[in-house]
A = this chain, B = another copy of it.
Amino acid sequence: MTLHCATCPVRDRAACAVLEDEEREELARAGRLRTLHKGETLFAAGMTEAACATLKSGALKITSIDADGRERILSLVHPSGFVGEMFGPYMRHDVVALGESELCVFSGPAFAEAIERYPGLGQALLRRTQEDLFASRELLALTGTASAEQRVAGALLSLARAASDSPCHPAKEFDLPLSRGELADMLGLTIETVSRMLTRFEREGAIRRNGKRGIELLDPALLPLR
């Protein structure tokens, strides 16, 4: 399937936004559109074939499996985000769709070539990767010493920010892209603890739950943040 950049929902936020129109069309010819359903795997850890992708819509999780076979969520990818490896010999982690998702997928060599040809693209990716690094370290700081209460509160605010269009202010009302189990896997907790914390926040009037996934931030100041 070919790519149609002109109608791309993330054309001015994704990494390729730094390219001129004709350059982007050129790059688009090396990629292909792919649609993933909830739970489908984009990349599997250990894959020896380098590849990468830009997320157009939906959401992804980057995960690894620990010794006990338990899944650990290392990062979330939101629209305009970039995943994959252009260089490495193999994929380090699994990348799985959290819901219906659309992506532009490129082979590693093809994208590496594009970086060679368009230095601006490499720089854009460098900035983006640094941002990913900071996000990863933020999660590290959150899950390191914080209590279960603080972890869930922090995740709620983080997801509220991601759900909002303006990057600064969190959305007042939004749907969690993650199940309780996935939330637990991201925070290093159990399903039961996450559930308990959510009911606690609701009882204290900080949030209101609408169905399984719906969250309304009534009074964020009541959340026990770090």
Contact = CB atoms under 8 A, between A and B. Distances in A.
A22 B130 CA distance: 28
A67 B188 contact: no
Contact of A137 (B64, B116, B141): B64
A172 interface: no
A123 to B, nearest CB: 6
A143 interface: yes
A137 B188 CA distance: 13
The 9 nearest A-B residue pairs measured at CB: A67-B226, A144-B188, A119-B119, A136-B136, A74-B137, A129-B129, A126-B126, A133-B133, A72-B144
A203 interface: no
Interface string A51-85: 00000000000101011101010110000000001
A145 interface: yes
Interface of A: 62, 64, 66-68, 70, 72, 74-75, 85, 87-88, 92-93, 115-116, 119, 122-123, 125-127, 129-130, 132-134, 136-137, 139-141, 143-146, 150, 188, 225-226
Nearest to A126: B126
A226 B116 CA distance: 39
Contacts of A150: 67
Contacts of A64: 137, 141
A75 B126 contact: no
Contact of A92 (B115, B132, B134): B134
